[in-house]
Amino acid sequence: MNQRHRILAASATLAVAALSLTACTGGSSTSSSSDHKLVVAVGTAPVSLDTLKAATGVPGTWFETPAYAAVLTKDASGAVQPGLAESWKYVGDGNTDFEFTLRDGLTFADGTPMDAAAVAASLTYFTATTTGPSKAYFAAMTFTAVDTKTVHITTTVPNPIIPDLLTVGYLGAAPISAAGIADESSRAGQTFGAGQYVLDAKQTVSNDHYVYVPNTKYWDQKAIAYTEIDVRVIPNPDQQVQALKSGQVDAIVGDPSIGGTVSGDGLQEISEPSTVYNFYLMDREGKVVPALASEQVRQALNYAVDRDSITKAALGNYGSATDQTAIDAGAASGYDKSLESTYSYDPAKAKSLLAAAGYGGGFSMPFTYLGYSPTDTKIAQAVASELAAVGVTMNLKSEPDFGSWVNDLVSGQYAGTLLTGDGSQMYINAQFGFTQGAVMNQYGVVNADVNSAFQKLASSTPDQIGPAAQALNSVIVTQALALPIASSDSIVIFNSKKVKPYFLGTTGELAPIESWSVN
């Protein structure tokens, strides 16, 4: 070996040695392959693993549902099925009392027994303390352990969808152990549930990847399909696609920019309408923008936007223009096809309505939106442009982060905001956007027609829910309480050779990742 070769060999050895010296610790985001390991990618890390603070909806719940089992579950058709509870029923009429009965021998992942008292304590704690999106849906409920297996729910606001709320998607009915309830700070980075899996803290690196391993104390060991679930944070959609194509991940949540463009061996895509892009017109009593107190003005805004063009530009084939805040997801959504022609694009009519309301010269209204979302930005800017054509100036505040947007929302300075709403359940839809305590009703506007229709819906029997939901939807649309733009699809792209994700019937809700079947 001559000197040059010796130098080369020494350099190479040095390089490997130097790298080795620094590589003895650190978390791993990939481990050796296994037949039944599920790896999924999401765009953003969870704000917290605490179910009291976590986001609902996909893919936010991918960090929660593996480790937290719920009182009830849903089957592939979207019908409610037993979970931790083996039976459930409304007690009496009026949707104010409800009971469920737990299975025998349940335990939390930490080994502590799960009886009715523990579940009631968890539900009570969640309801009293949560700051998550589900807060309003549980707020009126109280929980009592009747005996060791039975929990009784009483709600001061009649509730026709308690079985739905007890499934895992809303996170409230996914019991937390006593240790978890006692240790709020630890819940941010650890799991304290009774789900099929538990978070493996040793393999997890916060904000990068979260590894879940089977919970040996889960009540139904046969249901545990994977030896490991790895939820990785890959911020950029293009990087997610690269990881999917190269076989590093098994499934990703797509968006309209990549939907339909990903092809490869075994790669498939599924999509279903799930949410609606709405401008929530919060200031409906005109505290910030007096013009918005006028129903004619709000209707004018709805006539002024060309929803078809905006939808095509922002969502491509993964959205449909809509005049309503509901999606076509079954009777409980309140969706009414006949309402779709309520506000056909008609700028001339918009101008005449504005003039009739005394705002023929136009007006300005401040709106805030989540500027870090490309789709939100496209829609917000397109709508602002079209409103300008009829003399209405929408002063948009683009917020770079969620916290700033929340600050705007509660500041009392903005007339409204753009946000996607869950349009699959009118009871949820109304409590999110239009009833007095709704989070998207920051000015606490009381609308007698909304209240009346909501009360009827709330106390409906199952066969009355459809008509009651449609009646409430009709109030929202005809009084133009919002400016809906488009329903938007949830998109999942996956390796069909390894997993089979699925939507729950026509609800637009994606099945929890731990329930995806192994191929």
Partner 1 sequence: MLRLVARRLLLSIPLLIVVTAITFFLQSLIPGDPARSLLGPTASPQQYDALRQALHLDQPILVQYWDYIVNLLHGDLGQSIFTGEDVASTLATRLPVSLSLIIGGTVVALVVGILLGVLSATRGRILGRFIDIFSLVGGALPNFWVGLVLASIFAVTLSLLPATGYVSFDDSPTEWAQSLILPVIALSLAGVATIAKVVRDGVSTAMGQDFVRTLRAAGVPRRVLIWKHALRNSSVSLVTVVGVIFVASLSGTVLVETVFVLPGLGSLAVTATSRQDIPVIQGVALTFAVITIVVNLLVDVSYGLLNPKVRA
Query: What does the binding site for partner 1 look like in residue numbers (CB under 8 A)?
Result: 2-4, 7-8, 11-12, 14-15, 18-20, 22-32, 45, 47-48, 53, 130-133, 135-136, 185-186, 188-189, 205-209, 232-236, 238-239, 242-243, 245-248, 399-404, 406-407, 409-410, 439, 442
The distance of closest approach from Cβ of residue 98 to partner 1 in the complex, given in angstroms and rounded to an integer, is 23
Q: How far is the CB of 331 from partner 1 (least distance, A)?
A: 28
Cα–Cα distance, 425 to 52 (Å, whole number): 21
The CB-of-239 to partner 1 minimum distance in angstroms stands at 6
Q: How far is the CB of 22 from partner 1 (least distance, A)?
A: 4
Q: Locate tokens 């025998």: which residue?
A: 104
Cβ closest to partner 1, residue 314 vs residue 415: 415
CA distance between the termini of the chain = 53
> Are β-strands 482-495 and 416-422 bridged in parallel, bridged antiparallel, or unpaired?
unpaired
Structure tokens at 115: 């009886």
Closer to partner 1 by CB, 138 or 303: give it.
Answer: 138
Least distance to partner 1, CB of residue 274, Å: 20
Measured from the Cβ of residue 509, the count of other Cβ atoms closer than 10 Å reads 23
- Give yes or no for a contact between 491 and 254, defined as CB atoms under 8 angstroms apart: yes
Please state whether 111 falls in left (phi above 0), alpha (psi between -120 and 50) or beta: left
Which residue type sits at 64?
E
* Smallest distance from partner 1 to CB 376, Å: 16
Is the Cβ–Cβ distance between 230 and 465 less than 8 Å?
no
Nearer to partner 1, 347 or 371 (CB): 371
C-alpha pair distances (Å), 416 with each of 131, 166, 280, 286, 429:
21, 31, 5, 11, 16
Least distance to partner 1, CB of residue 23, Å: 3
DSSP codes joined into one string, 237-250: HHHHHHHHHTTS-S
Closest approach, Cβ 113 to partner 1, in A, equals 27
d(CA 147, CA 298): 52
Rounded to 10 degrees, the C-alpha dihedral 437/123/180/51 comes to: -50
Nearer to partner 1, 74 or 232 (CB): 232
Ordered alpha helix ranges (H), 285-440: 295-303, 307-315, 347-356, 374-388, 402-411, 426-433
Separation between Cα atoms, residue 371 and residue 44, nearest integer Å: 15
Q: Which is nearer to partner 1, 245 or 287 (CB)?
A: 245
Nearer to partner 1, 4 or 337 (CB): 4
CB of 402 to partner 1, least distance (A): 5
Containing H/E element for 127?
helix 116-129
- The span from the CA of 384 to the CA of 377, in Å, is 11
Closest separation in Å from C-beta 297 to partner 1: 25
Toward partner 1, which CB reaches closer, 245 or 456? 245
Close Cβ partners of 481 (under 8 Å, ≥ 6 residues apart):
281, 284, 298, 433, 434, 447, 450, 475
Between 242 and 344, name the residue whose CB sits nearer to partner 1: 242
Say which amino acid occupies 159: N
* Cα gap 84→195, rounded to integer Å: 10
Residue with Cβ nearer partner 1 (18 or 146): 18
Least distance (Å) between residue 101 CB and partner 1:
30
Q: What's the rounded Cα separation, in Å, for the pair 447 and 424?
A: 22
Which CB, 403 or 462, lies closer to partner 1?
403
Report in angstroms how near the CB of residue 442 gets to partner 1 at its nearest: 8
SS3 at position 377: helix
Distance CA 452, CA 448 (A): 6
Instruction: Report the residue number, 237 or 319, with the smaller CB distance to partner 1.
Output: 237
What does DSSP say about strands 85-90 and 72-74: parallel, antiparallel, or unpaired? unpaired
User: Position 239: which residue type?
Assistant: Q
Rg from Cα positions in the chain: 25
Nearer to partner 1, 134 or 470 (CB): 134
